[in-house]
Amino acid sequence: GQQLNQSPQSMFIQEGEDVSMNCTSSSIFNTWLWYKQDPGEGPVLLIALYKAGELTSNGRLTAQFGITRKDSFLNISASIPSDVGIYFCAGQSINNDMRFGAGTRLTVKP
Amino acid sequence: DAGVIQSPRHEVTEMGQEVTLRCKPISGHDYLFWYRQTMMRGLELLIYFNNNVPIDDSGMPEDRFSAKMPNASFSTLKIQPSEPRDSAVYFCASRPHRDYLTDTQYFGPGTRLTVL
């Protein structure tokens, strides 16, 4: 089951606004991952983080691996309608154990 | 590469029937994972294989569920007999083995199972 606390559960924003979501855990992870899931599809990897403190960007997306290795955040700048979907964080430990957050459902109003 | 392929995409069956879900991982990937996604419990890992061998099946709900990987390019998840509470989206994912710290999982499109 889920051991990651992901927030917020949902967001309703206006096109052009920035978005921020985060994940926290009681456990340490070696890798933090952020996925996006569109309706009727499987999760697609957006960003992978491998080192504590790492800050990685992918276009308008920026994610950071927390220093304590127990948290991560994802920012989306200048949101557009196609950013709509469910965003999941996932933590992966050294023994292949992977846990997912409950997801953040993003709605972008044009 | 076509990515992870799952079939069928949708399955509707009646309680008590046997259900078989199929997965073809990305060629060259050594790891294969089966997940279940529901509104209540989110994404849950059911079982994963390394080089066709089941490594951890602690997430398999009960004996009605079984998974096999007869070769590197094919895996099945079987539910027998199926029950309404098994209704969910089942995802297959695969991952290469080059470096377990830096390689991540790639998901298939999922099979939406409805048990009436």
Here the contacts of A49-58 (C-beta below 8 Å, separation 24 or greater) are A50/B101, A50/B102
* Contact present, A83 and A105 (Cβ < 8 Å): no
B40 by Cβ neighbours in 10 Å (0-12 / 13-18 / 19+) ranks as: exposed
- CB of B110 within 8 Å of a chain A CB? The answer is yes
Stated length of chain B: 116
Task: Choose, out of A9, A23, A41, A44, the residue to mutate when testing the contact with B (most B CBs < 10 Å).
Answer: A41
The reported pLDDT for the residue numbered A17 is 97
Q: State both tokens at B36.
A: 């279940």
- CB of B74 within 8 Å of a chain A CB? The answer is no
What are A52-107's pLDDT values in tens digits? 999 999 999 999 999 999 999 999 999 999 999 999 999 988 776 788 999 999 99
Asked if the Cβ–Cβ distance from B104 to A103 is below 8 Å, we say no
> Residue B105 above 90 pLDDT?
no
* Contact present, A91 and A26 (Cβ < 8 Å): no
Distances (CA, A) of A3 to A31, A75, B42, B106: 15, 22, 11, 21
Asked if the Cβ–Cβ distance from B42 to A102 is below 8 Å, we say yes
| Minimal-distance CA residue of chain A relative to B60 | A1
Asked if the Cβ–Cβ distance from B102 to A50 is below 8 Å, we say yes
How many pairs of residues across A and B have Cβ atoms under 8 Å apart?
52
Sheet holding B5-7, edge to edge: B5-7, B19-24, B74-79, B65-71
> Residue B75 above 50 pLDDT?
yes
The strand pairing partners of B95, in sequence order, are B31
How far apart are alpha carbons A92 and A30 in whole angstroms? 6
* Contact present, A78 and A16 (Cβ < 8 Å): yes
Asked if the Cβ–Cβ distance from A98 to B91 is below 8 Å, we say no
The reported pLDDT for the residue numbered B98 is 61
- CB of A39 within 8 Å of a chain B CB? The answer is no
List the 19-38 stretch of B: residues with Cβ below 8 A of A. 31, 33
The reported pLDDT for the residue numbered A22 is 96
Q: State both tokens at A69.
A: 């290795």
pLDDT band at B99 (very low <50, low <70, confident <90, very high): low
Q: How many CB atoms lie within 10 A of CB A62?
A: 17
The reported pLDDT for the residue numbered B39 is 85
Task: Choose, out of B105, B106, B111, B112, the residue to mutate when testing the contact with A (most A CBs < 10 Å).
Answer: B105
Asked if the Cβ–Cβ distance from B42 to A42 is below 8 Å, we say no
Which of B27, B79, B102, B43 has the alpha carbon at shortest distance from A87? B43
